Amino acid sequence: MRVAFQGEPGAYSEAAALNYAPDAEVVPCPSFDEVFRIVEAGQAALGVLPIENSIGGTIHRNYDLLLEHDLTIVGDLELRVVHSLLALPGVHLASVRQIFSHPQALAQCDRFLRGLPGVEVVATYDTAGSAKLLQDRQLTEAAAIASDRAAAVFGLHILQTGIQDHEDNFTRFLVVSRADTAPRTADLPDKTTVVFSLPNEPGALFKALSVFALRGIDLTKLESRPLPGRPWEYLFYVDLRVGTQDVACGRALTHLAEFAPTLRNLGSYRSSLARRGGLPSDAVRAGNAHA
């Protein structure tokens, strides 16, 4: 089975892909858009995409892409992320003048970076891609923030590990697939993600959320995104802690459809947290079988 992810080998998304499907052939992609494209084209069975981080917040582009493409969410998972500062062998922290990494990783290591006066921080497309950049260009006055696994992949050494602002640093990933090729499982779904729009009138959001509250359905995530072509109107993405096979969930969505101009079920699936008894995955480190 082929599983697509965004980034270079050693990226955290690769770790998530291997965590979800340990025997898969992982397929690196230069962008999130490309992950969606090749899964939609059938060139990969699954795509694994970060959707939010416990420190840096939401990856908004992937919410937009979920709406732009006809793919179904078939799973999710969480990984604890441990960031390290990597450099070419022989390079010391005192000689570092630039640090490269993805904007999310830079945000997650803000306190560490503010403690390095005079060092330029440069945003790149990928954490592991930043490590690759050091290797490709043989940059002797630069470092990258990435995983320990990226250090092993690109022959770098670790100047310092655990540099994120908070020890409990988790990223949640979604697993997407074409509906006609979605993996089959005997486990009943316990989570559903929907997106809907609402009329711009007083109490509209309260009314929408009440269809779940009145039926005792737990909302684990609520995210708003601008509605394209409709300035100052919004789409609402909601994660429900229940599968659509549940009668209460079905009735709630039917009720919501009565007054929501648009409503789309993005997927009803078995959450990885349920499979692991509510515990997140192990930290992403070099040599970890799930990294």
Catalytic site positions: 171, 173
CB-neighbour burial class of residue 1 (10 A; exposed 0-12, middle 13-18, buried 19+): exposed
Q: Is 275 helix (H, G, I), strand (E, B) or coil?
A: helix
Using alpha carbons, list the distances in angstroms from residue 281 to 9, 20, 87, 100. Answer: 19, 10, 27, 26
Q: Is 24 helix (H, G, I), strand (E, B) or coil?
A: coil
- For residues 248 and 105, give the distance between their C-alpha atoms in angstroms, rounded to a whole number: 39
- For residues 53 and 62, give the distance between their C-alpha atoms in angstroms, rounded to a whole number: 13
Handedness of CA 224, 3, 19, 273 (dihedral sign): positive
Using alpha carbons, list the distances in angstroms from residue 279 to 21, 104, 203. Answer: 18, 23, 37
- For residues 204 and 260, give the distance between their C-alpha atoms in angstroms, rounded to a whole number: 9
Using alpha carbons, list the distances in angstroms from residue 3 to 127, 134, 176. Answer: 19, 27, 10
Q: Are residues 208 and 214 in contact, defined by beta-carbon separation less than 8 angstroms?
A: no
Beta bridge partners of residue 77, listed in sequence order: 173
- For residues 128 and 21, give the distance between their C-alpha atoms in angstroms, rounded to a whole number: 20
